Structure 1
């Protein structure tokens, strides 16, 4: 049984112009101990999926799905109280702007201690304060913060962006979750801080067996860590496969465009040459194109693309495209 099984998740948002589909029939399956990458441009719906999974959907959202199970638990049938309890035990989320998610009026230590559930306290009730303080220091050491005594008494605005992100990860690990959802955890960070955060997530996965859903708009930041990658465009999952399949044999033109936009630094790129880009931008939700949503931007678009492409699979790699790339050439008929 997979740890997370989402099938045909649809998120409709109320707007002055009516309901718009921000996420359309999104499916995702996560196995225990897996690191899954979810990649796509800003506005493709990645964060909406993460927030719905974490149970923080807004009142103006209409969420439906054929199946949305965490283990054998139906997430859509849970009450708000039951969903909060699950978020405090089995699912944790790291947001992309940690400094805005931390309470500026409380110290880091107070917020870490608040994140620790009582069920984990391995001490008598009168020893809880000392146990929580000791556990908070241990968590900060675990995520790579050396000056833990200074950080534990500091306020969020006194820390750097990288330190705040590590604190957010420590708060997520405080509950020993089965699933950690990291929504662009290295956003707007320096390269050294990015490498530290990614190494930390990899270590958490290997040592604790925590399943990680890693969300980013940059395929280069996490490709090495992932077991499988799902590519989203305009609210839809357009391609999904193993890391090797996505990086070496992409079938969807959007995936190929993301890979081509990665700068080639091996010396073969001519001096002052123009970088590869995909023309156009993601269309607004109020005026989505008919058929394939990439059609107006796709270099391989044809008349058939006005029809929504069906799901196709090849060697375990799934994609939605009428004219897939990197497919074996069919033999010519004998004369």
Structure 2
């Protein structure tokens, strides 16, 4: 069947060898198309090809529904831990481990981290949802840095508990929609100290206590509460700092609208030269970017489409296939991605 290149889909099979107008060989007969090979046809200015259409079934959901149920349970459980910390100044560590062990074990088989973030983005309560996201991302970053599972679990647990000290902050300050006064901001900063104390009162987990204390420290010494520099900051606190900022910037908060996922990755890349530790930040970016291939997006031009490949010249401005064309955002600098979303 003869099809225009814009009508091709991954899984279609090429029926004839394909050459461009200059006689250069492009694809051989029998090739099963992928997003990358469709892009290759576009790059060679090939308009029509003969294909056998794919009859493949829709891909499985990779247990996304199961993960959503686990996330719901985890967010509810964190609310209980948070409220217990508020009323007693401590929590039951067994509750945390009983929650995280099966959840993080199942995350090991989930490679599409962006879909998981989009799933979590549906949840309403920022404080509890944010802790779930940071725990999940901290776990993944540790794995991507080749920590063994046992240590990655510790990183994920520390990320999950990093903001427990906010239970000690007045809701009027924590949820204030306007700008904080200097006094209110100083109180917010104390959540790091409160969190470290709560964890030490509840567990013997020194790593989680340190991460709670240090996750707002920065490589150049401009962070808080102690103005530490790179060598003084625990490696897992560096990991949680990245997960914390990414989750915060891509989530709706009472005083700030969420930013687009790829744009925030670009901002983290910029911050990896001075503010954040370069190795975990760049590992995070390197492993996240392939997750965006195939995701639906809304462009600032109003067009809807799907990301088909990242650009080697600019990783943060991908090639997008819309209903009518391929938009190369590395060349069309006046167009941006406004939103990445699940169908």
Q: TM-score, normalised by structure 2?
A: 0.29
Q: Relative contact order (C-alpha < 8 Å, sep 6+): which is higher?
A: 1
Q: Which has the higher helix share?
A: 2
Q: Which has the higher strand share?
A: 1
Q: TM-score, normalised by structure 1?
A: 0.30
